[in-house]
Structure 1
């Protein structure tokens, strides 16, 4: 083997080894870094506008944008959890008061409730079961509020790392992209296509998450209004829980439907179960896939599976990471098709 070839092979092996070492070093923080990159790519144009308005003071503009992003995301979430905790205490007291009333005792003696008690609860006291469930929901909200206020060490560290990363990505992000573009062997137009796809899909994925939450809250509110339940608070909770993987709006409408059944409002409870299961839950996948497919240029079926797979692999942020990885894969295949168009023609 000639010396120049040996040098090239050695250099490539060295690059691969160093790259793998860097991956191992950054692997514990990949989610935080990727979240920071996604948020910066979405808010970079407002940052550039703000930097111009501030006379080119990039550090000040970056600091302001980081504060704005934190206020847009973290503060509303904490306030909602605290509000939910306060309302859950009131709801629990109302449930206990109702179950002690003569009306609840009359409902408990109805044939439907007696049949339900024998088949599902195996002759357990339904009133005690309802109180126990309500107590658990109340405790969940209270613990969630405590966690939101005090937080955990890992959450605090992750948040600081994301903010810290965003600050420097805002300032040095463009020069980093230029460096990456220079180092990649791909033509510049392909680099730009990949970067554009990353930005567009990140934006559409996060947008779809909030649009889906709003849609589920509004549709859920309609169902709640029809059955005569408090609309504002429960719809607000539906919107919040729809943002959380493995939870969803069903965490709200299903207990509400069970409450209606236990209080003798049979048809209202059945309607809410059907409405929540067939309408509210379906909106999640349909709206999210419809919004993302426009930018990702991926079939809605694959979008849905990429979201589910992303959640299973990455947790909460898998909602963003899954569609992003699939769309980048489609972009790479498109570049491959353009480069080898003549070879692929048969």
Structure 2
């Protein structure tokens, strides 16, 4: 006998359970709060974004001078007063390049010095005595080279071309210096923000770093490993930058001494500090110094 398997179909029973409509579940206060939070976040970013680089510079400055801040604790126990002293010294050191520029270079002096520099270059090109040598031993290599340069520069096409190039270069340098003079107020504002950020990160940096480590969504040993790597990278960047600034200051001092610049030691120290200023660098000292010289 063959048994037939039968399937019993169950009836679909629909239960009319009491419930709320989808529109009733919408939480309008939460949506309004999230929209306002997003708007205020964007506005805060729009206000802070021009100064993000200044704040980050303050973080790096605080990291660089933190050993000094820690070592002076036994002499100045108050954290706030100690941070004020160190940031005040930093402010004086970092504003000295701008004081030098403002005291030696004005908009009128830029035009006058650039015009005088152009005339000097043009005179040397016309005479051919670029090296400015008075040769006694004409058989020496330097004197022969000087004579060959004079002969080459007396060519009319060469003089026209080099004069045009010199004029374009000097005009570009003049325009750049004027732009810097006009943007000095905004640079000083960024510097003040960096100094304020340095103050707060010096005083509260330890607490902020500990809170930041606790907020990381990682396990304990992963947090420590990540923090150690970040510390080592920051250490290498900051103190590598300080070493490069020191090297620039030493070489600038040697060059200024050879050229017999007045106040060569002061200028070399200013170049060292200026090389630490973001977006600018050592040239804001040596370009005005050359024009002034």
TM-score (norm 2): 0.54
* 1:152-175 deviation per Cα after TM superposition (whole angstroms, max 9, x unaligned): 3x3243223212212211121110
In structure 1, C-alpha distance between the alignment counterparts of 2:53 and 2:61, rounded to whole Å = 12
Contact 1:40 1:166 in 2 (8 A): yes
Distance 1:29 1:132 in 2: 34
Query: 2-side partners of 1:81 and 1:132: how far apart?
Result: 25
2:194 is the counterpart of 1:162: yes
Q: Is 2:235 the partner of 1:200?
A: yes
CA distance in 1, matches of 2:175, 2:182: 12
* Residue 118 (str. 1) matches residue 157 (str. 2): yes
Which residue pairs with 2:90 in the alignment? 69
- Whether 1:176 aligns to 2:208 is yes
**Bigger radius of gyration:** 2
Which runs of no fewer than 5 residues in structure 2 stay unpaired?
1-33, 130-149
1:1-346 to 2 correspondences below 5 Å: 24=45, 26-56=48-78, 58-79=79-100, 82-83=103-104, 93=116, 96=119, 106-107=127-128, 111-115=151-155, 117-119=156-158, 121-122=160-161, 126=163, 137=173, 141=177, 143=178, 146-147=181-182, 151-152=184-185, 154-184=186-216, 185-187=218-220, 188-217=223-252, 220=255, 225=258, 230-232=259-261, 240=271, 243=275
Aligned partners of 2:126 and 2:159 also within 8 Å: no
Alpha-carbon distance between aligned partners in 1 of 2:50 and 2:168, rounded to the nearest angstrom: 39
Distance 1:146 1:197, change over 3 A: same
| CA–CA distance in structure 1, aligned partners of residues 76 and 67 of structure 2 | 14
Conservation of the 8 A alpha-carbon contact between 2:271 and 2:286: no
SS in 2 for 1:54: coil
Secondary structure at the aligned position of 2:160 is classed as coil
> Given that residues 33 and 165 in structure 1 are in contact (C-alpha distance below 8 angstroms), is that contact kept between their aligned partners in structure 2?
yes
Q: Which runs of no fewer than 5 residues in structure 1 stay unpaired?
A: 1-13, 257-346
More relative contact order, 1 or 2 (CA 8 Å, 6+ apart): 2
* Aligned-partner SS, 1:36: helix
| Alpha-carbon contact 2:153-2:159 (below 8 Å) kept | no
Q: Is the 8 A contact 1:66 1:166 kept in 2?
A: yes
Equivalent residues of 1:82, 1:145 under 8 A apart: no
Q: Report the Cα distance in structure 1 between the residues aligned to 2:207 and 2:252, rounded to whole angstroms.
A: 42
Structure number having the greater helix percentage: 1
Q: CA RMSD in A?
A: 4.8
Residues 1:248 and 1:48: Cα distance change in structure 2 (over 3 Å): closer
State the Cα distance separating 1:40 from its structure 2 match.
0.5
State the shift of 1:147 in Å: 4.3
The secondary structure found in structure 1 opposite 2:52 is helix
SS in 2 for 1:75: helix
- Aligned partners of 2:55 and 2:197 also within 8 Å: yes
Match of 1:121, SS state, is helix
SS in 2 for 1:232: coil
CA distance in 2, matches of 1:78, 1:43: 23
- In structure 2, the CA distance between the partners of 1:106 and 1:180, relative to structure 1 (3 Å rule), is closer
TM-superposed CA distance for 1:177, in Å, is 0.8
